[in-house]
Structure 1
Amino acid sequence: MKSYKALEQRFRRIGAVNGALAMLGWDQSTMMPEGGAKARAEQMAVLSVVRHEWLTDPRLADLLGEAEAQRKGLNDWQSANLREMHRQWRHATALTPELVEARSKASMACEMVWRKARRDDDFKSFAKAFRPVLELTREVAAAKSAAFGLDAYDALLDEYEPGGRSAVIDKLFADLGGFLPGFIDKALAKQAKRPAPLPLQGPFPTEAQRQVGLRFMKALGFDFNHGRLDVSLHPFTGGVPDDVRITTRYSDDDFTKALMGVLHETGHALYELGLPKTWREQPVGEARGMVLHESQSLLVEMQVCRGAEFLRYAAPILRKAFNGSGPAWSDENLLSIYARVKPDLIRVDADEVTYPAHVILRYRLEQAMLHDHLPIDDLPDAWNDGMQTLLGVDVPDYAQGCMQDIHWAVGSIGYFPTYTLGALSAAQLFAAARKQDGDILPGIAQGDFKPLLRWLRANVHGKGSLLTTDELLREATGKPLGTAAFKAHLKARYLN
């Protein structure tokens, strides 16, 4: 056990650096003045290189080999920890320190340009900053492709979803691609037979929206002794399991989008807060991957908080918070607003029926860019064509088109498919939870989320990276990842 224990000590230090990078990244996106960008890029690049040097230390490779030879003496958690240590080591040793530093600096610089360019609808400036990010991402993909024997895209995908492969995604997306167009038509036809939702009249003060969000976060189980809610240009969850930071963005004209943003990010935060405390700052104690992470955010937002039980509980709270009265504020009208299907421009505001189309488009485009089949300058036209084909939507500008998301600006190519894989997982997990615990839905209707959180802690959060994604889903739901539960959920909510 001596070699294994030495590895735990080393990875505890690496985990602390990861946490520092996460907190610096949160600050950059929420509070850092623009003038601090250069210094912050240098700080984060140095920490990224330090982490890389620790992971590629020749002695670490020796310890991994020695511990592997003694694997029979490890318990299940230690064995899984060693597996995850190997994975992180393989990803690190595929890259040179120079490439790690260059990628970090280019991504940080591009993110800061993206913030202003998106606000100014300036694709030219964004494209100039994105070009080196894409080139360096191709270098990373090529290096990892050679090291792992994988397709370049799969090598990047593995950073976000361990073991994830585009061949599996292609099959699932082809299944959805065959199902969704006809289903969207049916849902829209059924919706057209009902009266349109009555609009909610604002303005909705930001502070009132914030207080509502905080109330629902607390009800869901968010621990404010270990986290906080802030504002950013793009909603996200950051920080570390003992200090989880989530963000949203507000509009005085419409509280519904900001609220769902808060609930979505709360799902992410609950996962982080529920990771096994015994294994903090060890690889096995981290979230398994972004498929399960997105499953938790979408389970809370889409499965639970757009459902009838939650909205009937939430309606009187919303009426009181915003001084709402009359038919527009009835339970039924709020249900109709949140269950409305409408092909639209913005992914993070999309309904759950059209959301997968947004992801499929990004998945196709980022593969094309990575493989140099789509020049950056042609991205807006390709985006606009895809939105018209998949959703019948015309894109009026860059900010609401190909520049709306932060992911490409920071080099996160390979991330997007995990959103829809997460939606499939969320449907599967929530269906299993409801079947196994009859108190979950009645609890939600009363604002009591303890039964749901208890099930998630036991079956998802508390597992950390002990199991692979497929193993966890099979253990929790009895089935591998598929589309059946998601389809059944959509039919029940939008056709019945």
Structure 2
Amino acid sequence: MTVDLTTFETVCQRMRQAALYTSSADALEWDERTGMPAAAGEYRADQVAELRSAAHALKTGAAYGEALATLKDQLDDEDPHGDISTTIRELHRDWCRDSRLPVDLVARLSVATVRGQQAWDAARKNDRFGDFRGALEQIITLKRDVGQRLAEGTSSSAYEALMDEYEPGASVAALTPVFADLKQRLTDLITRITDAPRQPRVELLSREYPIDAQRRFSAQIAHAVGFDFDRGRLDETSHPFCTTLGPQDCRILTRYEANWFPGGFFGTLHEAGHGMYEQGLRDDWFGLPPGSYVSLGIHESQSRLWENQVGRSLPFWKWLYPSAKSAFPDALDEVSLDELYFAVNHVRPSMIRVEADEATYNLHILIRFELEQALISGDLSVDELPMAWNEQYQRCLGIQPSNDAEGVLQDVHWSAGLFGYFPTYTLGNLAAAQLYAAAVTDMPDLEHDFSRGEFERLLHWLCERVHRHGRCYSGAELIKNATGDELSADHLMDYLESKLTPLFGL
């Protein structure tokens, strides 16, 4: 049977219209996170809810679902990874998911999360979890309702149904043993490094780095690695993120601290990695599966690869060292290349996830993975959350936050309703190491490029292996196609061991 192209174009046009509403809501939320007057928050919540409700209505119409089901039955002779098959298959999957959620629930959740992010921002600035408690409890109640509706009639838990939005097909049963193995191997490595004979001069990273100089330096580096400023921009916010507002409009955001150089620099490099993935998607399929990212784990693999495998490599710093000394002469005047390289690769348990080193970072994620499962299941109450957070940090990292701002209030995710999102960070770290190893296998002299400030070959490789495919393959299929292996922790541990063992004299 041949696909009815007239019907196909009709459903595509409907989703392009939904993308207009969604991207407009995203633009309003970008503005809310960057410069909206505080008093405008209430009306902004209503604006976003109206747009997201309109998009949801388009995505869940009965006649639209029937058209997709008919098209799906016509796919027998189509390439399963082709653009037409992918569009029909993935839109039908989205419809089956979205149609389980009534529009009033979507609207209430949109309002709650916009207000929740505003409450979180104020609570974090004032270091008072109590100011956020009520908003968080409302969001959890709504997300639990969403998860239960999505899980109904399946073998998934409410939490797994929420996680499926970010990492399709992922399950707690599959992730738990992988994460447990990774946790043990990382803990062993961190223990060895803590007792190592050599330690870096981390204090040189907390000297005075003028914020204006950081802004200029970060923008230069984002441009150098390949972020296209003709199709994007870099701004500042309280919690770094990346959002795409149209096929030629990608926004990345970071934050700077005058006495902590890695925060702004690696935050920018991280978000530029996200941005380059978005800019590598096919514009002509914007709003449709072939022009959309496949999963947040794959998205995170792109940001972490540029932040870590590239941005913390010795060849990268051989190229960047003279420019860094020129940009920050007072802070780096007597600092050698080897000292700076060692410092940016320090390993030390710390409170803030986005500022964590490569070795300890995933422990931050595993803490959140456990806590948010308990919040959604009801095994952990909102009132118990701060204490549970502190206990987990003591158990996993041997440290405890001194206040809520550096503890339970440090992440924006739960205020935005992003439950099930956190495990994708660790999946992204695993995929980043595996993809990078494959790229080096294909281009053995790749790191020589970095020492000359050339990154085009790596970006092109990633575009060909990952970006341009959109959702034509699953995340697992993309990794297997690009690397020849199933996703595992081995590549990440090999990468960390090979770099950190000689640095710390192990």
Query: TM-score scaled by structure 2?
Result: 0.95
Superposed CA deviations along residues 273-328 of structure 1, whole A, max 9, x for unmatched, are 00123322212210001000000000000111011111111111110011247674
Q: Give the letter for the 2:286 counterpart.
A: R
Is the counterpart of residue 305 in structure 1 residue 311 in structure 2? yes
Question: 1:389 maps to which residue?
Answer: 395
**Secondary structure at 2:414 match in 1:** coil
Post-superposition CA distance 1:181-228 (Å, at most 9, x none): 1111112223x4346456257432211111101111111111111111
Alignment partners' CA distance in 1, 2:421 and 2:170: 11
Partner of 1:424 in structure 2? 430
The question of whether the paired residues in 1 share the 8 Å contact of 2:86 and 2:472 is answered with yes
- How far does the alpha carbon of each residue in 1:238-288 deviate from its partner, in whole angstroms, 9 at most, with x for none? 123411111111111222221000000000000000012332221221000
From 99, 103, 108, the equivalent of 1:93 is 99
Equivalent of residue 17 in structure 2, options 13, 25, 28? 13
Q: Supply the AA of the counterpart residue of 1:219.
A: A
The code of the aligned residue for 2:210 comes to P
Contact 1:276–1:285 under 8 Å retained in 2: yes
Moved over 4 A (4+): 324-328
User: How far off is 1:133 after superposition?
Assistant: 0.6
Report the residue type matching 1:359 in the other structure. Answer: I
Cα distance in structure 1, aligned partners of 2:21 and 2:413 = 22
Structure 2 distance, partners of 1:474, 1:195, is 37
Residue 234 of structure 1 aligns to which amino acid in structure 2?
H
Question: What is the SS of the residue equivalent to 2:497?
Answer: helix
Q: 1:365 aligns with which of 367, 371, 394?
A: 371
Counterpart of 2:329 in structure 1 is: 323
1:110-147 C-alpha deviation (Å, 9 max, x unpaired):
11011110000111111111111110011001100105
In the alignment, is the contact (CA less than 8 A) between 2:57 and 2:103 conserved in 1? Answer: yes
Task: Report SS of the residue matched to 2:10.
Answer: helix
Mapped pair 1:468 → 2:451? no
Q: What is the alpha-carbon distance in structure 2 between the residues aligned to residue 165 and residue 3 of structure 1?
A: 34
CA distance, structure 1, for counterparts of residue 85 and residue 398 of structure 2: 50
Is the CA contact (8 Å cut-off) linking 2:231 and 2:250 kept in structure 1?
Answer: yes
| Structure 1 position 214 matched with structure 2 position 214 | no
Structure 1 288/119 Cα, relative in aligned 2: closer, same or farther at 3 Å? same
- Hey, what does 2:88 align to over in structure 1? 82
Moved more, 270-279 or 359-368: 270-279
Question: Which segments of 5 or more consecutive residues in structure 2 lack a partner in the other structure?
Answer: none
| Whole-Å separation in 1 of the counterparts to 2:21 and 2:409 | 30
Distance (Å, rounded) in 2 between the aligned partners of 1:200 and 1:289 = 34
Q: Could you tell me which residue of structure 1 aligns to residue 46 of structure 2?
A: 42
Q: Which residue of 2 aligns with 1:61?
A: 65
Pair 1:106 & 2:112 matched:
yes
Candidates 235, 243, 257, aligned match of 1:238: 243
Partner Cα distance (1:325, 1:490) in 2: 28
Tell me the SS of whatever aligns to 1:159.
coil
- For 1:395, the aligned partner's letter is P
> How do 1:116-195 and structure 2 match up within 5 A?
116-146=122-152, 148-190=154-196, 192-194=197-199
Q: Work out whether 1:337 is the aligned partner of 2:378.
A: no
Mapped partners of 2:422, 2:33: distance in 1: 20
Pick closer, same or farther for the CA change 1:198–1:25 going to 2, 3 Å: closer
* Secondary structure of 2:195 counterpart: helix
Does the CA contact (< 8 Å) of 1:432 and 1:476 recur in 2?
A: yes
SS at match of 1:72: coil
Q: Which amino acid aligns with 2:352?
A: I
Q: Which runs of 5+ in 1 are unaligned?
A: none
Deviation at 1:421, TM superposition (A): 0.6
Shift of 1:25: 1.4
**Deviates most, 302-311 or 274-283:** 274-283
Partner residue, 2:287: 281
SS state of the match for residue 350, structure 2?
coil
Cα gap change, 1:325/1:494 in structure 2, threshold over 3 Å: closer, same or farther?
A: same
Matched-pair contact (CA < 8 Å) for 1:12–1:282: yes
Quick check: 1:414 aligned with 2:448? no
Equivalent in the alignment of 2:210 = 205
Choose 482-491 or 3-12, whichever is displaced more.
3-12
Q: Could you say what the CA RMSD is over the residues aligned between the two structures, in angstroms?
A: 1.5
- Alignment correspondent of 1:3: 7
d(CA) in 2 for partners of 1:148 and 1:24?
A: 35
| Number of the residue aligned with 2:384 | 378
Q: Secondary structure at the match of 1:408?
A: helix
C-alpha contact 2:393 2:400 (8 A) present in aligned 1 = yes
Counterpart of 1:26 in structure 2 is 30
- How far apart are the structure 1 equivalents of 2:102 and 2:153? 12
CA contact (8 A) 1:94 1:147 kept: no
Distance in 1 between residues matched to 2:332 and 2:67, nearest whole Å? 68
Q: Which amino acid aligns with 2:317?
A: L
- Tell me the distance in 2 between the aligned counterparts of 1:163 and 1:376: 28
Change (3 A) 1:201 1:165: closer
2: CA distance, partners of 1:467 / 1:328? 50
Q: How many residues align?
A: 495
CA contact (8 A) 2:239 2:411 kept: yes
**Matched position secondary structure for 1:234:** coil
CA distance in 1, matches of 2:200, 2:296: 38
SS, match of residue 76 in structure 2? helix
Whether the 8 Å CA contact 2:290–2:472 is kept in 1: the answer is yes
